[in-house]
């Protein structure tokens, strides 16, 4: 059995070599010829899987994307060819939630503000939006949730409109899929008109898909709205962001909000489980067996945490300034956006860090995601 996997997919060999030969290829440049004799195709968000890519393949049984997003997959085409498909819903939700939360602490620190005084609007209350909501709730930050689809489905959480978020939130974090059709389409959800309406001093974070914000409009609006603070992990037109936009962004990264070791492992593992099911094979390993030890075994806390102390603790698991600095030095015309992603040393999630000596009043740290020392 021939298995073709994106070269940027950790743990693919470990998990899939029991089914056949694993060939790793660059995801963005994969061609129809490359995949013509694959039985299993494992991709990430940079490979468009459609009739052109699969034109020369008549034996493919399974396509898996080790990502949450599916906007790069023509699922109707796969169905028409009876090719099984799976993505990895929720695999990197914790990573994205923690990325957004720690970046809010960074912004608060940079501008001398208090995160707990802010209201955070979360647009898209699925896996990643809810992971962020969990961190914010644990820390005691007020949130507004906007998700008209979940609201229509009768979910018990309270939802508000996008307009109410724009009007009422000091911070807006985007967590929607990229959709181009339908009543709730998200392509350019934040267009020029909406960007102009952002509150004075608003913080805007995008860690879902670049095209959810009209990046040309954002570049124009930022020229006269310096008060808006931006965190962009995703960019319209990746891997070629609008370069004039970058200096106006407070924290800029190359689509790595979901890049935790745990998130990557979960993504590949979920596809492995799916293939086991498809081939009626037993699941022989577990995610925890794939994860390396964290370099700090535990942290002992001796006092109540200030906002800056919490930021310092979060920086032990992920210090965004390293990625931000590297991003600003990239030569985008030379495809270095992808080079940086590929070379990224995946960070850990808060759960990798065990905290000891915690008073009861600090139990919120475990709700946020850190691990508790076992008695
Ligand atoms: N930057 C990264 O590394 C990274 C990592 C993971 C996911 N993503 C992106 O983030 C997206 C969201 O991920 P998720 O796991 O939260 O997905 P999800 O499907 O669990 O949640 C998305 C939510 O958005 C809601 N939604 C859809 N249209 C909406 C609209 N117009 N307004 C408000 N809400 C709307 C849906 O109802 C759903 O609840 C993914 O589709 C992917 O594109 C990016
Ligand atoms: O949709 C997702 O899961 C994320 O955008 C994912 O982190 C993208 O990473 P990639 O697949 O491009 O490595």
Does residue 98 share a domain with residue 43? no
CA of 44 to the centre of ligand 2 (A): 6
Domain for residue 13, yes or no? yes
Domain for residue 23, yes or no? yes
Question: What residues have CB less than 8 Å from 76, skipping those under 6 apart?
Answer: none
Q: Is 47 in the pocket of ligand 2 (CB under 6 A)?
A: no
Residue-wise DSSP of 271-328: HHHHHHHHTT------HHHHPPPPS--EEE--SPPPHHHHHHHHHHH--HHHHHHHHH
d(CA 57, CA 32): 8
Question: What residues have CB less than 8 Å from 29, skipping those under 6 apart?
Answer: none
Range of the domain at 327: 298-372
Q: Is 258 in the pocket of ligand 1 (CB under 6 A)?
A: yes
Question: What residues have CB less than 8 Å from 210, skipping those under 6 apart?
Answer: 232, 234, 235, 236, 237, 238, 241
Q: Which ligand is nearest to the CA of 160?
A: 1
* ipTM surpasses cut 0.90: yes
d(CA 44, CA 5): 9
Does residue 68 share a domain with residue 209? no
CATH of residue 208? 3.40.50.720
Does residue 244 share a domain with residue 122? yes
Q: Is 236 in the pocket of ligand 1 (CB under 6 A)?
A: no
Does residue 141 share a domain with residue 109? yes
Does residue 235 share a domain with residue 139? yes
CA of 126 to the centre of ligand 1 (A): 6
Domain for residue 322, yes or no? yes
Task: Please identify, among 64, 87, 110, the residue that sits at the C-terminal boundary of a domain.
Answer: 87
* Cβ 260 vs Cβ 131: under 8 Å: no
Q: Which of 369, 364, 363 is nearest to 348 (CA)?
A: 369
Distance, CA of 332 to chain centre: 21
Number of domains in the chain: 3
Does residue 238 share a domain with residue 178? yes
Strand-pair category, 203-206 with 171-174: parallel
Domain for residue 222, yes or no? yes
Q: Which of 96, 91, 89, 170 is nearest to 131 (CA)?
A: 96
* Cβ 13 vs Cβ 267: under 8 Å: no
Does residue 339 share a domain with residue 325? yes
pLDDT in tens, the chain (375 residues): 999 999 999 999 999 999 999 999 999 999 999 999 999 999 999 999 999 999 999 999 999 999 999 999 999 999 999 999 999 999 999 999 999 999 999 999 999 999 999 999 999 999 999 999 999 999 999 999 999 999 999 999 999 999 999 999 999 999 999 999 999 999 999 999 999 999 999 999 999 999 999 999 999 999 999 999 999 999 999 999 999 999 999 999 999 999 999 999 999 999 999 999 999 999 999 999 999 999 998 999 887 899 999 999 999 999 999 999 999 999 999 999 999 999 998 799 999 999 997 788 889 999 999 999 987
Q: What is the DSSP letter of 1?
A: -
CATH of residue 320? 3.30.1370.170
Q: Which ligand is nearest to the CA of 65?
A: 2
d(CA 236, CA 238): 6
Does residue 241 share a domain with residue 116? yes
Domain for residue 258, yes or no? no
Selecting among 28, 44, 175, 255, the annotated active-site residue is 255
Specify the pLDDT at position 360: 84
Selecting among 175, 209, 341, 348, the annotated active-site residue is 209
Residue nearest to atom 42 of ligand 1 (CA): 69
**Tokens 């998200």, residue?**
186
Does residue 72 share a domain with residue 10? yes
Q: Which residues of 102-115 are buried (b: 16+ CB within 10 A; e: fewer)?
A: bbbbbbbeeeebeb
Does residue 182 share a domain with residue 208? yes
Q: What is the DSSP letter of 213?
A: B
Annotation says 341 is catalytic: no
Known binding-site residues for substrate equal 45, 67, 259
Domain for residue 291, yes or no? no
Does residue 314 share a domain with residue 169? no
Task: Please identify, among 53, 87, 121, the residue that sits at the C-terminal boundary of a domain.
Answer: 87
Atom of ligand 1 nearest to the CA of 95: 5
Specify the pLDDT at position 358: 76
Q: To test the ligand 1 pocket, which listed residue (126, 231, 257, 337) has its Cβ within 8 A of the most ligand atoms?
A: 126
Domain for residue 271, yes or no? no
């Amino acid at each position: 059995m021939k298995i073709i996997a994106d070269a940027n997919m950790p743990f693919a060999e470990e998990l899939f070599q029991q089914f056949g030969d694993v060939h790793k290829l660059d995801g963005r440049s994969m061609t129809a010829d490359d995949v013509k004799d694959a039985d299993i195709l494992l991709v990430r968000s940079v490979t468009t899987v459609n009739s052109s890519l699969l034109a020369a393949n008549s034996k493919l049984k399974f396509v898996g994307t080790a990502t949450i997003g599916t906007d790069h997959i023509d699922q109707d085409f796969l169905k028409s060819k009876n090719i099984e498909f799976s993505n990895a819903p929720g695999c990197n939700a914790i990573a994205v939630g923690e990325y957004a939360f720690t970046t809010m602490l960074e912004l608060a620190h940079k501008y001398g503000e208090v995160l707990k005084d802010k209201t955070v609007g979360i647009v898209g209350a699925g896996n990643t939006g809810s992971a962020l909501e969990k961190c914010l709730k644990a820390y005691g930050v007020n949130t507004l949730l906007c998700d008209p689809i979940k609201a229509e489905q009768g979910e018990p959480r309270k939802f508000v409109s996008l307009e109410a978020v724009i009007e009422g939130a000091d911070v807006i974090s985007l967590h929607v899929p990229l959709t181009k059709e339908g009543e709730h389409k998200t392509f350019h959800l934040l267009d020029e008109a909406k960007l102009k309406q952002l509150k004075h001093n608003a913080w805007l974070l995008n860690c879902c898909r670049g095209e959810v914000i009209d990046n040309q409009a954002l570049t124009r609006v930022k020229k006269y709205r310096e008060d808006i603070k931006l965190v962009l992990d995703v960019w319209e037109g990746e891997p070629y962001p609008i370069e004039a936009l970058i200096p106006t962004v407070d924290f800029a990264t190359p689509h790595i909000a979901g890049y935790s070791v745990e998130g990557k492992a979960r993504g590949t593992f979920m596809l492995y489980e799916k293939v086991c099911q498809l081939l009626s094979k037993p699941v022989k390993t577990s995610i925890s067996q794939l994860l390396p030890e964290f370099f700090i075994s535990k942290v002992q806390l001796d006092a109540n945490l200030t906002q800056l102390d919490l930021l310092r603790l979060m920086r032990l698991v992920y210090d965004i300034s390293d990625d931000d600095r590297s991003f600003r030095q990239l030569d985008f015309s030379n495809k270095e956006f992808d080079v940086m992603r590929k070379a990224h040393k995946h960070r850990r999630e808060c759960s990798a860090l065990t905290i000891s000596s915690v008073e009861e009043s600090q139990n919120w740290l475990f709700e946020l995601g850190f691990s508790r020392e076992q008695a």
